[in-house]
Structure 1
Amino acid sequence: MSELAITVIGHDRPGIVADVAEALARLGANLTDSTMTRLRGHFAWTLVCTGPGAAEVEAELAPLAAGGQLLATVREVRPETEATAAGEPYLMSVHGADRLGIVAAVTRVLAEAGGNITDLTTRLSGPLYVLVAEVDLPRGAAAGVSARLAEVAAGLNVEVTLRPAETDVL
């Protein structure tokens, strides 16, 4: 069994998730983690599964990509070793008038503090730009990060909020 990272992108249409999931199920591939979204009419899905080798999965997905409507890539990856939580979970939200450099500026603050972004979503709705990110921050770093984000936000003329996140309970 291999662990595979798969990306599927293309013009959105009903049934893409079902088509890809059925193809993987036919091969006995177990879908473990995934994230999917629509971006301005474009479909984007990234997933990790365990199953047969990359060549077999690529061959099974090839008919879905025929005609150029979808692009599917498959790569073998090393299984993640169980890691303990590296920090404390936070949610960061940013909103304000759209302008160049918002994502670069606020994520640089996180990176400089040793923060790790675990999920990030952005949306442009008319002139309003919204960013929501899940972030793991080193223990005790939140106050300093909040202060630095406030400085950056003032320079960008946006609002930034950083608050503790509730952890997933499974």
Structure 2
Amino acid sequence: MIIINNYSEFETLLGKELGVSAWHTITQEQINKFADATLDHQWIHTDPEKAATESPFKSTIAHGYLTLSLIPYLWKQIADIRNLKMEINYGIENLRFAQPVLVNDKVRLKVKLSSLINLRGVTKATMGIELEIDGQKKPAFAGEVVFLYHFIN
């Protein structure tokens, strides 16, 4: 795990791969809870029996937004950003879903620091990300996420 205490330490990592998270298994229970939270109960996600016979994947799949929602959890396994007043999820850019994540697939996040800007004391960090699927060549998604870090002076 990388420990970052301030902007200067962050800056030394510019252009580098920061690491990968641990594998996380997407379960049907997690998919169902996400469906409840988002009111998206489309059968391709929540009906294993129908998915087994009618889906081209022969299985339920995770919501794309469920996989995106894992970014903060998985990112915190890669980097420990310390001395913060506040951290803000600022944006997602150029994101493309490349492949569905099936129930019981294992996924992990790979992160590279693409750019770093000091906005009058606020650190704007743009990370290139990929959500890898165990045993698959193509990632579930790839793109960039932007975080704002307000370090304590």
TM-score scaled by length of structure 2: 0.20
Structure showing greater relative contact order (alpha-carbon pairs closer than 8 Å, 6 or more residues apart)? 2
Kindly indicate which of the two structures has a greater share of residues assigned to helix. Answer: 1
TM-score scaled by length of structure 1: 0.18
Determine which structure has more spread, i.e. the larger CA radius of gyration. Answer: 1
